[in-house]
């Protein structure tokens, strides 16, 4: 048997971090078993569909590296993979259910349904459709149709007995059938509801395992009964534990609510993480740890390392909160392992957005110093904005700031002047020569013969910032002319 799993988002907006975790687990399961990962768009609720959302979701999944084997853009043997393009199929199968006495036409108008609801509320009865059209005779149905009344198609849910869901993660769950209403399968506009489309597609696309968010578990008994009505074998169910809001109450929802609950910066869309400067590898690492764990107390691992260990049985059914606090640390670990060239490339768009134009050579030069200092890519901005003259001078320094207890004013001034002369003429203007020359000057001017205090002050003079890359890299990055000009300004303070 080839494992076939699907991620089936509704295009209602950007990809939510909880959905990304669902996609990731499906992808991991497919890759582990050399199976197929299918992307299917569930867009039958047209009122909730947002233009551009399909592209946005696909773009985010691509960024995460969760490649799909079949889907709207790549096609496949079971397409189309967008549900609104499959409308004929749903109509065909709902007719089949009618013909086989597994479904019925319902003529209840929305007014009638809300009246029913009011009555149920008043009588403190259970809410939901009471099945009143289920018992219409064939003649009554024909007459109402002839009169031009529009109808939905509802499922004839078995009225007694129980439906048992065998879920790999949640175990076995039993539902009383009488509590499950006769759901609408086909709306009066001819489009299916989620239930019908989902079941038909999972069957026709030969899905073997359904991994989806726990919030869908209550639809499973209806779905199982639909499979039975069609005479089809249901896939294996694995409902993934809920990803919760920071308070631990309710599912992780919209950003504002999550933010209010935690009081901290909380992202809920994958795009927000992307824009904030997280690496997709770090995000996958982080998400795979939500409800599953690698074992051996290991927190940093690649997906290749995780796949052999991944199993549905090992997924914890308990709801979990995203360990946001860990994410910066995880991302920092990934950044440390990046090649300087890759880091430079990754940082560039963030610098550009902040209006910092830094040449490739200069960027590369400061990257080794950056590797251990960044948690997120934009952290590079305050480090590197000393390179822009317009930003230089933001720190108002005085002559006193450029002195130290081991480096009184006269020594500091002398050191800066010697450094100026040295930097104006040193050839070549590179790290080795600059570091040797400035060390010597520093040792000569400090009272204790150590270069440290002077070099610290040089850094302040040249970058005019408390945070910056190391001094020698900063000087090379600035270039001779600008380094000397900044020293001139510092010297003028004395």
Q: Which residues bind ligand GLU (CB under 6 A)?
A: 8-10, 42, 198, 212, 216
- Whether omega for the bond prior to residue 120 falls within 30 degrees of 0, making it cis, is no
If phi > 0 it is left, if psi is from -120 to 50 it is alpha, else beta; for residue 470 that is beta
- Least distance (Å) from ligand GLU to the CB of residue 36? 16
Nearer to ligand GLU, 57 or 461 (CB): 57
Nearer to ligand GLU, 42 or 418 (CB): 42
Nearer to ligand GLU, 15 or 106 (CB): 15
In whole angstroms, give the CA distance from residue 224 to residue 232: 9
- Least distance (Å) from ligand GLU to the CB of residue 55? 16
- Least distance (Å) from ligand GLU to the CB of residue 77? 21
- Least distance (Å) from ligand GLU to the CB of residue 194? 6
Nearer to ligand GLU, 10 or 435 (CB): 10
**Beta carbons of 245 and 231 less than 8 angstroms apart:** no
- Least distance (Å) from ligand GLU to the CB of residue 19? 7
In whole angstroms, give the CA distance from residue 97 to residue 102: 5
CB atoms within 10 A of CB 253: 14
In whole angstroms, give the CA distance from residue 126 to residue 117: 9
- Least distance (Å) from ligand GLU to the CB of residue 151? 25
In whole angstroms, give the CA distance from residue 255 to residue 260: 9
Nearest to 487 by CA among 470, 463, 452, 454: 463
Catalytic member of 118, 254, 440, 450: 254
Q: What are phi and psi of 118, to 5 degrees?
A: -60, -45
Q: Is 254 noted as a catalytic residue in this protein?
A: yes
Residues contacting 255, CB < 8 A, separation 6+: 266, 267, 268, 269, 272
Nearer to ligand GLU, 81 or 386 (CB): 81
| Packing angle, helices 220-230 and 194-204, rounded to 10 | 60
User: Long-range contacts for 407-412 (Cβ within 8 Å, ≥24 apart)?
Assistant: 407/445, 407/446, 407/447, 407/453, 407/454, 407/457, 408/447, 409/494, 411/445, 411/446, 411/447, 411/454, 412/445, 412/454, 412/457, 412/494
Nearer to ligand GLU, 212 or 459 (CB): 212
- Least distance (Å) from ligand GLU to the CB of residue 317? 17
Nearer to ligand GLU, 20 or 477 (CB): 20
- Least distance (Å) from ligand GLU to the CB of residue 205? 12
Token pair recorded at residue 481: 């002319």
**Beta carbons of 244 and 270 less than 8 angstroms apart:** no
Nearer to ligand GLU, 42 or 392 (CB): 42
User: Long-range contacts for 87-90 (Cβ within 8 Å, ≥24 apart)?
Assistant: 87/190, 87/191, 87/192, 89/200, 89/204, 90/186, 90/191, 90/192, 90/196, 90/197, 90/200
Alpha helix positions (H), 33-106: 53-64, 87-99
| Packing angle, helices 452-463 and 431-445, rounded to 10 | 120
- C-alpha dihedral sign at 138, 143, 148, 149: negative
- Catalytic site positions: 254
């Amino acid at each position: 048997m080839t494992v076939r799993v699907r991620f089936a988002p509704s295009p209602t907006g950007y990809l939510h971090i909880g959905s990304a975790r669902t996609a990731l687990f499906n992808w991991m399961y497919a890759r582990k078993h050399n199976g197929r990962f299918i992307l299917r768009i569930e867009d039958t609720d047209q009122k909730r569909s947002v233009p551009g959302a399909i592209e946005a979701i696909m773009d985010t999944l691509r960024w995460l590296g969760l490649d799909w084997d079949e889907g709207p853009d790549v096609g496949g043997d079971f397409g189309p993979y967008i549900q609104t393009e499959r409308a004929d199929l749903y109509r065909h199968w709902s007719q089949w259910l009618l013909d086989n006495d597994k479904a019925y036409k319902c003529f209840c108008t929305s007014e009638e349904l809300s009246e029913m609801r009011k009555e149920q509320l008043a009588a403190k009865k259970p809410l939901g459709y009471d099945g009143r059209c289920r018992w219409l005779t064939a003649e009554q149905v024909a007459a109402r149709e002839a009169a031009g009344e529009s109808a939905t198609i509802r499922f004839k849910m078995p009225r007694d007995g129980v439906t048992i869901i065998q879920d790999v993660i949640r175990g076995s769950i039993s539902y009383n059938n009488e509590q499950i209403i006769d759901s609408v399968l086909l709306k009066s506009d001819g489009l299916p509801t989620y239930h019908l489309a989902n079941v038909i597609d999972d069957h026709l696309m030969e899905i073997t395992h359904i991994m989806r968010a726990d919030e869908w578990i209550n639809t499973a008994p209806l779905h199982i009964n639909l499979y039975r009505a069609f005479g089809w074998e249901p896939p294996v169910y694995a409902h993934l534990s809920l990803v919760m809001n920071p308070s631990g109450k309710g599912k992780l929802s919209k950003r504002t609510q999550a933010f209010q609950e935690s009081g901290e910066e909380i992202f809920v869309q994958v795009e927000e993480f992307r824009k904030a400067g997280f690496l997709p590898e770090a995000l996958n690492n982080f998400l795979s740890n939500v409800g599953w764990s690698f074992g051996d107390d290991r927190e940093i691992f690649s997906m290749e390392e995780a796949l052999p260990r991944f199993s549905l049985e090992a997924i914890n059914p308990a709801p979990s909160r995203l360990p946001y606090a860990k994410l910066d640390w995880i991302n920092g670990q990934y950044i440390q392992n990046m090649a300087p060239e890759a880091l430079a490339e990754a940082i560039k768009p963030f610098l550009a957005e902040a209006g910092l134009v830094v040449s490739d050579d200069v960027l590369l030069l400061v990257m080794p110093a950056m590797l251990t200092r960044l948690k997120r890519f934009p952290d590079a901005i305050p480090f590197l904005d000393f390179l822009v003259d317009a930003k230089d001078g933001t720190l108002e320094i005085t002559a006193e700031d450029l002195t130290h207890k081991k480096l009184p004013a006269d020594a500091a001034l002398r050191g800066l002047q010697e450094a100026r002369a040295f930097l104006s003429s040193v050839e070549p203007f590179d790290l080795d020569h600059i570091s040797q020359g400035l060390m010597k000057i520093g040792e000569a001017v400090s009272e204790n013969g150590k270069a440290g205090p002077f070099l610290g002050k040089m850094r302040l003079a040249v970058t005019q910032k408390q945070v910056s890359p190391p001094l020698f890299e900063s000087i090379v990055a600035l270039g001779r002319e600008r380094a000397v000009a900044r020293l001139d300004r510092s010297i003028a303070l004395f």
